[in-house]
Structure 1
């Protein structure tokens, strides 16, 4: 998916010059928010890390702390997120999901279902370093049942590689027998197959499943399961079909009228995908919801927060 992001590394980049410019935007009366957001959205995540280091060397203070004392509200949250290295940002979001009162299942599901195996392995490593406990331990302390089992399988990040031609019919039949054909549902079959097979393999299984049953796998999951388990199974199915389409749907749901904006989800996806596949997310968004992501952000947010999100969005479709 390389090159499908909206944010690119700046050529002729100089971390010291940028660090000075950010200091200048903060000092004196009032803060030049526009200068800050324009600079940070015109640099790649790796370059932002270099700016943070240069700022500390030049000023002897922490850039993130200094920005937090100058900015407020949603803009502050968004700028702080942009200054987190990608894996660290995922790790912080996951820990937040577990640490709060109750569990923010949607954060756990969205991150663990949409990240690659390598990304999840990196997340596991850094999570342990940051919090002294494994992500799996924290998730198991906070969830239960088949939902917990599915998250644990995703955290293991051990999906089979490629397509196992020979097992496609058996997998499809096992899913059918576990759900539509059974009184009650054998949740473990769903968890095992959806959690352990590659995306390419699953797409073939879903095709076979529809031939056997006359249903889409999503319809069967909706009928046979409920609550967080249903959400995680659907997320895994959608990500096997298309991660950008799944994330486009998450973005749409974060802004759809009537429920107020889920700014955390909006920020998380806009920041974490801006260098990966934002162009694909935008294309899927337009296709699925016949309005553009740009338009929806414009209607749903305001001020410098909106300006920053639109720069991450990178244009209207």
Structure 2
């Protein structure tokens, strides 16, 4: 790909050429991002299964990062996560708000947050803040859940005296969280207490399934059960069936089973190779997710859910994802080493 020789694509080129990536993860991440985009344009309904897939991948990768035998692993983790997530997210919040207020105020109207509500977004508790919904930014509830998991698993890592003990603690932590999440969702099905599916305590189990996949990856590789296409089809079929059976408002039954079944499908897919184009799609997926719903509102206002509307919506998402990835995310990630050395200059790096 000659275009990747341009300097702006340095980080992307390294990712595309890397031999260490799990190709199935790039495939699932890119497909999940595309799924979210077309779902919100009402082309199909995925019942937030794609979000569960994102969470499972994050759980695997974060625990993998914290399991590395390297100096100051906890500090490296903290800097790595925040230079990846925060710059693009904060840029989106500020830039999208200004664009909406200055150029499309009549269209966005009450869909943009008031200044008194900004702390919900910057402090990552929007998913618990309740009404009113600010639909231009409402999809960032997923980042709130992610940040909550990142902090919790970081605390587990801080409590560990070694990486071996961290992995042991992480197993117990993941099992405990899964049990608690299932109990929370089961009781909510019958009591309507804390039932909303964007609440962190209803979604953390997906991350923990991903964590367990990493922690038991060697055992899983040797089990034929996880290599069976037949059982994978059963898992996928059960997932589709449950989406149709559970037609309750919050689909908590689906929220219980979806992460478990998706985790099986993900493990099955890891035995296959996938085209490197999925690495490119996955590379832009985070910023595409940030911007897609903000773009959707004026597009639907002017063109409705039409073919023209979808082309403009999809194209606008791609353009903004490209710009935000290369001119915000990449810049901060390229400065990651310097930032780490500056923050911890008196300690051994």
The TM-score, its normalising length taken from structure 1, stands at 0.31
Structure with the bigger percentage of helix: 2
Higher RCO structure, 1 or 2 (CA under 8 Å, sep 6+): 2
Larger Rg: 1
The TM-score, its normalising length taken from structure 2, stands at 0.29
